[in-house]
Amino acid sequence: MTSNLNRIGLDKKASSALSEKLNELLANYQIFYMNARGFHWNIKGEKFFELHLKFEELYNDSLVKIDEIAERILTLGFTPLHTYADYSALSKIKAAKNVSQGTEAIKEILNGYEVLLPLERELLELSGDSNDEGTNALMSDYIREQEKLIWMYSAYLNQ
């Protein structure tokens, strides 16, 4: 008789569903990361120095989250997506090409959070229902951080 629990004591079926949703989040973060990296490289104008540094902070933070998400998928016993073809096909965030104006870049960042935040809230609910404290803690931290960033980026745009 096989156990319904994975190596960390969570239900295998619930872990599979969580891993699928985490892979969706991973795909969106990869595109979000590439967008932030492009904004950092291509930003021009009056606020160059300020935004160049902000976008570097953003892509560095995204890179950490990408690694955490992939490692969480592995911890649950599944395989993280790892090709750009998979990321592009699954991501709701689309690549922002040749963005060099600060206002446009920040609007793209806010659009990205409009995709990431609902996914994270969905994962928070799924992980809570599955007693998956590891995923739950990650999502809770991400949500708290991003709500503040949304406020700050919106304030920058005077919205």
- Residues in the chain with pLDDT values less than 70: 1-2
What pLDDT sits at residue 2? 66
Assigned domain for 7 exists: no
What would the two tokens of residue 14 be? 């619930």
Assigned domain for 84 exists: yes
Assigned domain for 119 exists: yes
What would the two tokens of residue 156 be? 């920058």
What pLDDT sits at residue 56? 98
Containing domain of residue 93, as a range?
Answer: 12-156
44 forms beta bridges with 101
The CATH number assigned to the domain holding 32 equals 1.20.1260.10
Assigned domain for 2 exists: no
3-state secondary structure 99-145: CCEHHHHHHHHHHHHHHHHHHHHHHHHHHHHCCCHHHHHHHHHHHHH
Cα dist from 49 to 40, 43, 56, 75, 158, whole Å: 10, 9, 11, 39, 19
Assigned domain for 3 exists: no
Assigned domain for 128 exists: yes
Assigned domain for 6 exists: no
Domain count, the chain: 1
Assigned domain for 35 exists: yes
The pTM is what? 0.96
3-state helix, strand, coil in the chain (%, to 5): 75, 5, 25
What pLDDT sits at residue 125? 98
Specify burial of residue 143 (Cβ count, 10 A radius: 0-12, 13-18, 19+): middle
